Amino acid sequence: MSRYEEAVPDVPPADLTLTERIRDAANVILRGGGTDWRQAILTAGASLEVSDPLRLLGNDAAGNWLWLGDWPTSERALDVGGGPGDTTAALSSLFREVEYLDHDSAWVEFARHRFGSRASPRVRQGGVELVSGQPGSFGCISITATTRRPDSESAGMLADCHRLLAPDGLLRLIPRIPLKQEGASRIRTLVDQVISGELTQRAWGLALRQAGYRPLGTYYAEPSLSYPYYLMPGNRRAVRAAERLHDDHLAGGRSRGWIVRAGLHGALYRHYFLLATK
Amino acid sequence: MNRALRVLLDGLAEDPDPRLRRAWSSVIMHRNVGAIPVSELPAGEFNWNRGFDLLLLDRDGRQTHVCKVRPARDLRARNEALVMAAMRLDPEVSSLLPPSYYRSVPDLQVLVTAFLPGRPYQHRLRLISAADWLSDMREVLPLSCRFSARAAELIPSLSGHGDPLDLSLQTADEFSYLAGLGIESDKLMTLRRRLEAMAPLRASLQHGDLWPANLLHDRGSWSLLDFEAFGRIKVPLFDAIHLLRTCLEIRTGEQDSPLWLRRVLGPQPDSKACRQLMMEAAQREGVSAEQAVGVLIHYWAVFARRSHLAGNPRGFWEPLLSEVREMARLIAEEPIVVDRLFSGS
């Protein structure tokens, strides 16, 4: 009996966050042994009564953000805070050696199950400090930050990654997204999202510059980073064009147009990332 | 943007068609549905798991082009490029599709089309009366047929148009697959016998994905979009059934019954219009009412299998299995009702 069989309740509480649900789903997969991971997530999702179980995990299209940037010819890529491993999977099709890192033991076990015992991607538990190698040997680095705003720890991580990134290499930074406050008023939610979307974007941009990077831009992902059906530059013109494109998908009432015109995009799109180079 | 992609798009500046030569400055990635290159084996060969589209914007944020970006070995993108290039040269149907530009490199291929004014038909579809819908379909369905006939004449590689077509053979794989999904053997036998009893059809090239999102309506004129699957399906009436089914679903939702087959047989104006249009489409394509029921059986079987193969959640493919079961039930228990489907009554 694995430790998950003891740890996972048969009926998960209804108020689980998405991350917690994904972890539970991962546990079900691990319990299932050699089950194909996509089929297993369907099974897990069914037990969780989720309408679209595959949405518990991302799909491989989550890696197409790479086409928004450019990277030098290099054999190595790094995924820091790799979570379910979607970015690692995407990097693996473009780079010969990919390193997956995450501090969370559940994610690491899930990634080991997903990627098996291949030499690449190499799955390890921990942070960027585990990575050895020549400075400038990674063509692409993706970082999923553990904090909402930059702090001393993230500054150290950015500095480490700067050392590892090749000249003209591509860095993607995903700030942590705050969870929605259940029961909060609409005004409070709006203010919170504007603050998280606008101010923290600027703070991370500043942190990147201080670490020696050259920011290339901010991109919003809609509806999520796992399912980025839309990836749009974080500027007013692009957002207005995206809103016009498929208003049935993106529209959320008359106020949405006003928010777009006011440039408060952070209130519309919770998920974003920053691209930078060295 | 990635260097290889930018090089491909830079070629737009030299295209002979001025509608394609417009300058662009930034992109939005949309319909992002599959990794390039493919990182894991895709679940089936479907539109929704291959590559992404880019919307190209000018300096003022106006849409200038739509660009499909696909893996280099994707045959559907090449098929679409072939169809669009050939049909743009035909004065009879060229107005139905936008100018296009196609390039490829070892890793990827791009198909760029000029951004057209107008909105996808589904927006209009929700607002108009049943009579207007009937009128719209009486314009679109003949256009689609004309397009297919011209494509068969102009593109020799799209072979098979006019050949005899045995629908029971065409649907054999689907029936085997559906048996594995739990469709009862007596129901499958009913459907199989119906197909075996009908006269052969004449093959006709189909668009393959003709639904309201691939129809653009602008001030009374129509454009057809998305020819990736063009010619792969050669069962006549397939496009018409698909378009009418999806239109009716958008217009009526599940207000009366979750089953499309029951909705289309209802007394509502939309249902009557749909039956009338199905009858007209069958007559236009030289398909008898008996054969048309066979095409409908084939249609449900194809979609149920395809949806399951794609790895969709149960909520996607189970309703399609229900339609297959309902089709079998109607044929076995209410043959008079089945006759109404393509009689216009």
- The 10s digit of each residue's pLDDT in A79-107 is 999 988 888 988 988 899 999 999 988 88
Instruction: Say if residue A53's pLDDT is above 80.
Output: no
Q: Which residue has the higher pLDDT, A226 or B284?
A: B284
B86-98 average pLDDT score: 90
Asked if B313 lies within 8 A of A42 by C-beta distance, the reply is yes
B218-229 average pLDDT score: 90
| Closest residue of chain A to B28, computed from CA coordinates | A232
Query: Residue B62 to residues A20, B27, B53: CA-CA distances in angstroms?
Result: 41, 11, 16
Quote the CA–CA distance of B214 and B67 in Å, as a whole number: 15
A245-249 average pLDDT score: 58
Q: Which residue has the higher pLDDT, A251 or B76?
A: B76
Asked if B2 lies within 8 A of A238 by C-beta distance, the reply is no
* Position B196 confidence tier, pLDDT thresholds 50, 70, 90: very high
Quote the CA–CA distance of A104 and B241 in Å, as a whole number: 51
* Ramachandran assignment for A81, one of left (phi > 0), alpha (psi -120 to 50 degrees), beta (any other): left
Q: Who contacts B75 (Cβ-Cβ below 8 Å, separation ≥6)?
A: none
Judge whether A136 and A106 are in contact, CB under 8 Å: no
Quote the CA–CA distance of B8 and B65 in Å, as a whole number: 14
**What residues pair up with A173 in beta bridges, in sequence order?**
A143, A274
Any long-range contacts for A246-255 (C-beta under 8 Å, 24+ apart)? A246/B30, A248/B122, A248/B123, A250/A222
State residue A25's pLDDT score: 63
Residue with tokens 């047989």: B265
Q: What percent of chain B has pLDDT over 70?
A: 95
Query: Residue A242 to residues A181, A197, B70, B167: CA-CA distances in angstroms?
Result: 27, 18, 21, 43
- Residues A233-254, buried b or exposed e (16+ Cβ, 10 A)? bbbebbbbbbbbbbeeebeeee
A41, A56, A64: best to mutate for the B interface, most B CBs within 10 A:
A64
Q: Who contacts B209 (Cβ-Cβ below 8 Å, separation ≥6)?
A: B47, B226, B228, B229, B242
Instruction: Say if residue B43's pLDDT is above 50.
Output: no
* Ramachandran assignment for B162, one of left (phi > 0), alpha (psi -120 to 50 degrees), beta (any other): left
| Closest residue of chain B to A229, computed from CA coordinates | B32
- The 10s digit of each residue's pLDDT in B232-256 is 999 999 999 999 999 999 988 766 6
B6, B25, B39: best to mutate for the A interface, most A CBs within 10 A:
B39
| Closest residue of chain B to A88, computed from CA coordinates | B39
CA distance A152 to chain B (A): 31
Minimum mean pLDDT among B7-16, B46-55, B255-264, B266-275: which range?
B46-55
Instruction: Say if residue B41's pLDDT is above 50.
Output: no
* B chain contacts of residue A235, beta-carbon cutoff 8 Å: 26
Asked if A69 lies within 8 A of B37 by C-beta distance, the reply is no
CA distance B117 to chain A (A): 11
Both tokens of A182, joined, read 């259940």
What is chain A's mean pLDDT, rounded?
78
Q: What percent of chain B has pLDDT over 90?
A: 59
Quote the CA–CA distance of A159 and A148 in Å, as a whole number: 18
* Position A8 confidence tier, pLDDT thresholds 50, 70, 90: very low
State residue A31's pLDDT score: 54
Asked if B63 lies within 8 A of A244 by C-beta distance, the reply is yes
Of A52, A61, A68, the CB nearest to B34: A61
State residue A27's pLDDT score: 61
Quote the CA–CA distance of A177 and A261 in Å, as a whole number: 24
B275-281 average pLDDT score: 96
Looking only at the bridges linking them, the beta strands covering A138-144 and A76-80 are parallel
| Closest residue of chain A to B313, computed from CA coordinates | A52
Quote the CA–CA distance of A252 and A44 in Å, as a whole number: 31
Asked if A60 lies within 8 A of B55 by C-beta distance, the reply is no
Quote the CA–CA distance of A84 and B295 in Å, as a whole number: 43
**Phi, then psi, of A99 in degrees rounded to 5:** -110, 130
Both tokens of B111, joined, read 């198909």
Instruction: Say if residue B72's pLDDT is above 90.
Output: no
Please report how the helices A200-210 and A152-164 are oriented relative to each other, as an axis angle in degrees rounded to 10.
Answer: 50
Instruction: Say if residue A32's pLDDT is above 80.
Output: no
Minimum mean pLDDT among A250-259, B73-82, B210-219: which range?
A250-259
Neighbours of B256 (CB within 10 A): 13
Using CB atoms within 10 A of its CB, is residue B240 exposed (0-12), middle (13-18) or buried (19+)?
buried
B184-202 average pLDDT score: 95
State residue A189's pLDDT score: 72
- Residues B135-173, buried b or exposed e (16+ Cβ, 10 A)? ebbeebbebbbebbbbbbeebeebeebeeebebbebbee
Quote the CA–CA distance of A87 and A261 in Å, as a whole number: 33
B82-100 average pLDDT score: 90
State residue B309's pLDDT score: 81
Q: How many CB pairs under 8 A join A and B?
A: 112
| Sheet with B215-218, edge to edge strand ranges | B119-120, B215-218, B221-224
ipTM over 0.85: no
* Position A229 confidence tier, pLDDT thresholds 50, 70, 90: confident
Quote the CA–CA distance of A252 and A242 in Å, as a whole number: 13
- HEC assignment per residue over chain A: CCHHHHHCCCCCCCCCCHHHHHHHHHHHHHHCCCCCHHHHHHHHHHHHCCCCHHHHCCCHHHHHHHHHCCCCCCCEEEEECCCCCHHHHHHHCCCCEEEEEECCHHHHHHHHHHHCCCCCCEEEECCHHHCCCCCCCEEEEEEECCCCCCCHHHHHHHHHHHHHEEEEEEEEEECCCCCCCCCCCHHHHHHHHHHHHHHHHHHHHHHHHHCCCEEEEEEEEECCCCCCCEEEECCHHHHHHHHHHCHHHHCCCHHHHHHHHCCCHHHCCCEEEEEEEC
Instruction: Say if residue B275's pLDDT is above 90.
Output: yes
Instruction: Say if residue A215's pLDDT is above 70.
Output: yes
Of A61, A238, A240, the CB nearest to B52: A61
The structure's pTM equals 0.82
B30, B52, B69, B123: best to mutate for the A interface, most A CBs within 10 A:
B30
Minimum mean pLDDT among A181-185, A274-278, B132-136, B312-316: which range?
A181-185
State residue A173's pLDDT score: 96
**Phi, then psi, of B337 in degrees rounded to 5:** -65, -40
| Residue B49 DSSP class | G
